[in-house]
Each structure stands twice: as C-alpha cells, then as structure tokens.
Amino acid sequence: MVYSDEQIARVVHAANAELQAVQGDPAPSQPWDHEPQDIRDNVILGVRNARNGFTPEEHHQAWVEDKMRQGWRYGAEKDAERKTHPCLVAFDQLPRDQRVKNVLFIAIVRAMWAEETQQG
C-alpha cells in the first residue's frame, strides 16, 4: 500500500498523542480531526522532511523555527494563549522523553515509507 503524507501524518500524530498520555503531558495533542489546520500542516511538513532524510535533531530544529516564526518563545509551561513552550530549545537540551518524540516521528515515517518503497 502506498501511504499519502497525510495518512502517515495521522499515524505519527496519533502515536505522539499516545506517547504524551503515557508521559503524563498536561496538554496532549488532540485527535487529528480536531487539531487546527496549521498543526496538521506542520505534521505533514514534518513527514515530507523525514522522507527527505531529516534526522530527529533536524526535525526538532525545523519545528522550533516554525514555532518561532509563529511568535512562540521559550517558556517553562506550554501555553497556547501566551505562545510559550518548554521545548523551544536545542535538541540536545531537551529532556529524554521529549527527544523520544522526535525519534519516534522519524522512525514511523521511515517504516511506513520503507514499506511503500519496497512494494513500489
């Protein structure tokens, strides 16, 4: 089966939400269809970047740059109204549980894409 970028993004997004639940994230991701379009577009862009060889570190840096373009800045708590987020730091400064999210994202994209390229 050939997966579209959006289908892969849905899987990655759902896996991230489950990981957030396991980690006790106080502001977990919403189901895909309830997320704003800009969030969905960002995940789809992340899928495309992963297909183009981005590492977990590069994936995180692209996310940081996108958030900052949108007016977000570092803050001790994730707050959508104030646009603050504790993960707006370099990859190597992230807590391990946050680095895992980026590694998982890339791994899922590569697994689904590898399946696609092996069958194509």
- Enumerate residues 6+ apart whose C-beta is below 8 A from 106: 50, 54, 55, 56, 59
pLDDT digits (tens, 9 = 90+) for 38-47: 899 999 999 9
How many structural domains does the chain have? 1
pLDDT of residue 118: 60
- The answer to whether the Cα torsion of 94, 98, 102, 104 is positive or negative is positive
Evaluate if residue 100 carries a pLDDT over 70.
Answer: yes
Full domain range(s) for residue 94: 5-119
- Enumerate residues 6+ apart whose C-beta is below 8 A from 86: 74, 75, 76, 77, 78
Flag whether the pTM goes above 0.85: yes
